[in-house]
Amino acid sequence: MKNFIKETRQSIRIIKNDIVRKYYDLRINQVKDPYRVMFRPEPYKFIFILSHMRSGSSLLTNILSSHKEILGYGETHIQYTNEFDLNKLVFKVYRKTQNIRSFPELKKLRMNHKYILDKTLHNHLFLDENLLNSENLYSIFLLREPERTIASLLDLKPHWSEEKALNYYLERLSTLERYGKLINSKERSLVITHNQLLNQTDIVFDAFKKFLGTQSEFSEEYEVTNKTGIPGIGDSKGKINKGIIDRNPRKLKQKITPKSIAEGMKGFENCVSILSKYCSFVENPN
C-alpha cells in the first residue's frame, strides 16, 4: 500500500510538472515579441549582473531575487545570440523557481514580476553583445579588488595557477569595460563594488531602488531556496546559506604575490574608472 501511494504521488507530480511546463511554454514561447508573454499587458524588463567569479555575485543575486518585483536564481548559462534568447531566460527562470506543490500556490503562475534576472561571469555568454543595448535591459556591474578575488579563485579551483587566475580576472575586467562603453547609458547601467555592497549597504540599496524604480526597499535578509549554494548556479564555498549578509571574511589559505596584486589593482582601478564614465556609479560618502 505504501508503495502504491508513493507511486501515485510520483505520477501526480510528473503530470503536474508537465502541465506547468506546457503552461509556461504557451505563455512565453508562442509570442513573437522577446519582451512579452501571453496575457500580460506589460513587457518584461531584465537585469543582468555583469561581474567576475568570486566577486560576491551570488550574494547580490540572492538579495535582488528576494525582492518581490524580481525573479531569478543564479547563473543560467544561457548563451545570448539574439533578443529571442530572452524567451529562453524567462522560461528557464520560471521553470526553475516556481515550484507549484499545492492549489493555493497557483497564484505563482500569474507571472507578474517586473524584472527577470540573470548573471554572467564569463566572456563567452554574450555572443551578440549588442543585446546589452536593449532599452528593457538593465545592467549592474559588480567588481571586487584582486587580492581576495584571486585567492578565492584558487580556493575554488585548486588546479589553477596564480597566473591563470590573474589572467582570467584581468581579461574579464577588460570585457566588462567594453560592455560599459557599449551600453553607454547611466539610466540602464550601475556600477558597485563588493566593498560597497558589504560596507555601504544602505547607500547601495537606495541606489538599487532608484535605478530599478522598485516600489519597495531591498533587505539584507534574503530567501534561501533549493538553488542557493548549488555549484554551477552560485557560491558553494561561502556562507550564502545564512540568508543574511555576513560581513566576516572567510579564511583563505592562498597567499597572492605582491606582483599579482599590483597588476590586479591596476586592472581593477582602470575598470572602475572607465565604467564610472559610462555608467551610474555608487559614490563613496565623504
Parallel, antiparallel, or unpaired for β 45-50 and 137-143?
parallel
Q: What is the pLDDT of residues 200-222, one digit of tens each?
A: 999 999 999 999 999 999 999 99
* 140 vs 166: CA distance, rounded Å: 23
List the domains of the chain with CATH numbers: 2-281 (3.40.50)
Strand segments, DSSP code E, in the chain are 45-50, 70-71, 115-120, 137-143, 189-193, 280-281
pLDDT at residue 145, as a whole number:
98
pLDDT the model gives residue 251: 85
Please determine, for residue 118, whether its predicted confidence score (pLDDT) is greater than 90: yes
Burial of 1 (0-12, 13-18, 19+ CB in 10 A): exposed
- pTM of the predicted structure, to 2 decimals: 0.93
7 grid coordinates: 507511486
Our measurement of the distance from residue 63's CA atom to the centroid of its chain's CA atoms, rounded to an integer in Å, reads 10
Residues 29-63 pLDDT 10s: 988 899 999 999 999 999 999 999 999 999 999 99
Residue 22 burial (CB count, 10 A): 10
| Dihedral sign computed on CA atoms, order 146, 63, 141, 121 | positive
